[in-house]
Structure 1
Amino acid sequence: MATDITILGTVIKPGTSHTLNFNMARLYTSTVVDIPVIIHRAKRAGPIVLLTGGLHGDEFNGVEVVRQLISKKVVRPKKGMIIAIPVVNVFGFLNMQREFPDGRDLNRVFPGTKNGSLASRFAYQVTKGILPHVDLVMDFHTGGAQRFNAPQLRVDPMEIESLALAHVFQPPFLIHSKNIPKTFRETCCKMGKKYLLFEGGKSQQSDKNVILTAVNGAIRIIDHLGMLQDKSLVHENEKPVHIIKRSKWVRARYSGLLHPRVVNGKRVEKGEMIASITDPYGTMRHKVNAPHDGFVINVNHSPLVYQGDAIFHISKDEE
């Protein structure tokens, strides 16, 4: 028989739905800022899945992915429980900025501390109040600083169960990537939670193709776990999953105006011209060539770059 589960002080009984207001702090005006946590629990016992978007407040694609999963009723499971937090960093979302009001990157302060900075306190409450109940986390992000990520999943290859689920998700690119200290991802993995990090698009922009890729991938996972009510929502990805074990950033050798010539997802060959950098005066034009064969998995969309700025991320073929 399924037992009661208590999340953020609320008892979640089998067969019930809740929208909890996770409020950690107030604005300067003393206005309470609520972070809605949407929970649907089936009568039957099963896995507990956490869906998160907007960990960085300016990453709108992730917010839209979780919103669509709610709208399509994917979050109402046949068994188990699904917890959806469309906007984790409401503070940043309100200001259209990446960080918390204290200037800290929420994704660099996990697992947080009880009496630390505002971001650290929030991370602590998530770590202590929600994560202990969760089996799987799907966290949706975008690229930052005008860098557009091709739709991709990042998984530590040592996390065998997460890696297996990543293949079920069927992303265009599956990148083997080690955990970064003090991230949400590292904390989840240390707690023994399966974790999928989706990256796609760039900050302060919505991209329909990226969002659709993420939504369909998440639906495939929910269906694989036996939790999906409506099987008609499942769409298999007919394109191959490209596994990337090594990659390298191409950096600008000159400052100036950047003119990319390739799009995300394109395969390039060593020596192929992928961009040019010019000055504003028509006196300089520098070609940027691909340093090796591989897939372009990130393109810098900034019109202006400084010497040393990352402008492309390109996979490296296995030798």
Structure 2
Amino acid sequence: MKILGENIALGESKTILFNIAKLYTATNVEIPIIIERAQKPGPTILITAGIHGDEINGVEIVRQLIAKKINKPKKGTVICIPILNVFGFLSMSRQFPDGHDLNRVFPGTKKGSLASRVAHHFTTEILPHADYCLDFHTGGASRFNAAQIRVTPNDYVALKYAKVFNAPFIVMSKTLEKSYRQTCLKMGTPSLLFEGGKSLSCDRDIIEYGVHGVMRFLDHFAMLQHKFKIPTQEHNPVVIEKSTWIRAHKSGLLHTKANCNKFVQKGDILASITDPYGEMKVRVKAPNDGYIINVNQSPIVHQGDAIFHISTLVS
């Protein structure tokens, strides 16, 4: 295997520095790529996090995989990139310094913006080596996601592997234009996008779901070392085929009563919105039976803000 000009032989461990540009202070910004190859050939699993620099849960999931040596496979190769957007991570920002969202510029261009150049080099130099991709994200802003795998509708290969990963929810979701997941789909590389928790936060349960899911995924391909006990889930994942957002009808202080993962019935009170003066109180009710898979944890909302994501059709 040859990545960024470096040869990595079977049985070898190597960290390669992916360096595209410097900060304006002339300081190098290097993206470490941790590669573990077994003596025995097998699949190559690419595990990434930190495409958005403020999404810490994914970074911690990949860090634990490395620290616990889960990434050392019994066969095949595991490539870990804990922080793909180091620029954003330094400033705890979702975007690159050029204002672009890395997950909206794939596959990138050689002479485009900084984010586009990073996407291009990643797509041409690293992604072609992968047989399967696992990418870790969180909810944006103050919106907390239940642990879930996003799968493109009718992508039955990804659905099969999502069930192997076994997060609590599998959410059918169209690929976003110029996203990493769309690029994987076009290249014919099966990919799973994990969502869990919210930005600028670490959640122990979400991180555990992510680490355990990777262990189950590696075990499916006989890549997990024997010393690790395979985590089991009490229930099979709930497949959410359709879902909708519940939005605030008024601006004000948000008081949520329903938590992520909870199954609610039509008419259940999910939250209330009040003004600061004690004169207005509006109740937010469930429009249908369903699972709550995202909760806005901001104390203040504006009219039209998304406050809950609820399933409308499950299987």
TM range (shorter): over 0.9
Q: Which of residues 46, 53, 71 in structure 1 aligns to 2:49?
A: 53
Identical columns (%): 56
Q: What residue is the counterpart of 1:169 in the other structure?
A: 165
2:66 paired with 1:70: yes
Alignment of 1:91-110 (within 5 A): 91-110=87-106
1:158 corresponds, among 128, 145, 154, to: 154
How many angstroms does 1:159 deviate by? 2.1
Deviations 1:250-299 (A, max 9, x none): 00000000000011000111111000000000000000000110000000
Q: Which amino acid aligns with 1:250?
A: I
For 1:6, the aligned partner's letter is K
Q: Does 1:227 align with 2:223?
A: yes
Shift of 1:238: 1.1
Q: Residue 132 in 1 paired to residue 124 in 2?
A: no
Tell me, yes or no, if structure 1 residue 294 matches structure 2 residue 300.
Answer: no
| Partners of 2:254 and 2:273 within 8 A in 1 | yes
Match of 1:146 among 142, 147, 150: 142
CA contact (8 A) 1:223 1:231 kept: no
Separation in structure 1 between the aligned mates of residue 261 and residue 272 of structure 2, nearest angstrom: 19
Deviation sequence 1:133-172 (CA, Å, 0-9, x none): 1000000000001100000000113222211111011110
Structure 1 residue matching 2:24: 3-state secondary structure: coil
- Structure 2 residue 177 is matched with structure 1 residue 187: no
Query: How far did 1:231 drift?
Result: 4.6
Q: Report the counterpart of residue 199 of structure 1 in structure 2.
A: 195
Distance 1:147 1:239 in 2: 25
Query: The residue matched to 1:121 in structure 2 has which SS?
Result: helix
Per the alignment, residue 270 of structure 2 pairs with 274
The whole-number CA distance in structure 2 between the counterparts of 1:279 and 1:162 is 45
Q: Distance in 1 between matches of 2:46 and 2:162?
A: 15
Q: Which amino acid aligns with 1:75?
A: N
State whether residues 150 and 194 of structure 2, in contact with CA within 8 Å, keep that contact through their aligned partners in structure 1.
Answer: yes
Does the 8 Å CA contact 2:176/2:182 hold for their aligned counterparts?
yes
CA distance in structure 2 between the aligned counterparts of 1:186 and 1:318, rounded to whole angstroms: 24
**Residues 318 and 16 of structure 1: CA distance in aligned 2, closer, same or farther (over 3 Å):** closer
Q: Compute the displacement of 1:318 (Å).
A: 5.2
The answer to whether the 8 Å contact 1:150/1:264 transfers is yes
CA distance in 1, matches of 2:263, 2:185: 32
Letter in 1 for 2:65: L
Counterpart contact for 1:111–1:187, Cα < 8 Å:
yes
1:13 aligns to 2:20 (yes or no):
no
Q: How much has 1:233 moved relative to structure 2?
A: 3.2
User: 1:209-263 CA deviation, whole Å, 9 max, x = no partner?
Assistant: 0000110011000011111113533111112311100000000000000000011
Unaligned runs of 5+ in 2: none
Q: How large is the Cα RMSD of the aligned pairs?
A: 1.0
Large movers: runs of 4+ above 6 Å: none
Residue pairs, 1:75-90, within 5 angstroms: 75-90=71-86
Counterpart AA for 1:237: Q
Secondary structure, counterpart of 1:264 in structure 2: coil
**Contact residue 171 and residue 241 of structure 1 kept, 8 A:** yes
Distance (Å, rounded) in 2 between the aligned partners of 1:50 and 1:292: 39
Read off the aligned partner of 1:209 and give its amino acid letter.
D
**Retained in 1: the 8 A contact 2:167–2:237?**
yes
Give the letter aligned to residue 306 of structure 1. Answer: H
